[in-house]
Amino acid sequence: MKKSTIILFGDPVLREEAKPVVAFNKKLGALIDGIRLTLAMRLDGAALAAPQIGVSKRITVIDYMGEYLELVNPDIVEAAGEQLDYEGCLSFPGFTGRVKRAETVRVRFQDRAGRDRTIERSGKMARCLQHEIDHLNGVLFIDRTADEFLVNSFDGRKLAVRDILITASPREKPVDV
């Protein structure tokens, strides 16, 4: 399976509500392998959702803190507590911002064979799961950040979140006042 290009903010596919996976077949396996391979090319990435390679389906692959997960049709069924910390996104290379998330989540999903699974995670992995499931609903971490500016860790560039949101939401029509 070939690796794909990671879609960057401004592309409307990142704003779509991804469609549920209904067919658990070879094609799905190849798609998941493609996401895994694309993620593996990036040392700075923890996870990648299908919309980030231009496929609007409810799939995400996580390779983070020594744990590898493939989640199809994931849903948060329980959330508890609160945490505030920095997070970033491969669709916003280098930029990080603080986002308030639940401390612990219970997530129900299917594996690539269609088997039902449930996991419960806390801390950084819970943050990662929430970020990824947001992607499947067209929600980006810049929508939730508590910061006014994002700072690029590669070159120190500072961007106003308000300006990024204008670029990142091309589908939203201007509101008549």
| Active-site choice (17, 103, 132, 148) | 132
Residue with tokens 């798609």: 31
Nearer to Zn ion, 33 or 143 (CB): 143
Shortest reach from residue 28's CB to Zn ion, in Å: 21
> Residue 76 or 114: which CB sits closer to Zn ion?
76
Q: Which is nearer to Zn ion, 115 or 170 (by Cβ)?
A: 170
Please choose, from the candidates 125, 122, 135, the residue with its C-alpha nearest in 3D space to the C-alpha of residue 89. Answer: 135
Residue 16 is among the residues annotated as catalytic for this protein: no
Distance separating alpha carbons of residues 121 and 128, to the nearest angstrom: 10
88 contact partners, CB below 8 Å, separation of at least 6: 44, 94, 95, 96, 97, 141, 153
Q: Which residue is nearest to Zn ion (CB)?
A: 89
Minimum gap (Å) between residue 115 Cβ and Zn ion: 26
Shorter beta-carbon distance to Zn ion: residue 11 or 24: 11
Which stretches of the chain bind Zn ion, using CB under 5 A? Answer: 89
How far apart are CB 16 and Zn ion at their closest, in Å? 14
What is the closest distance, in whole angstroms, from the C-beta atom of residue 80 to Zn ion in the complex?
A: 23
Which helix (H) or strand (E) segment holds residue 62: the answer is strand 59-64
Nearest-10 Cα torsion for 88, 75, 51, 138: -70
Write down the H helix ranges in 50-160.
123-136, 141-144
Give me the active site residues, please: 132
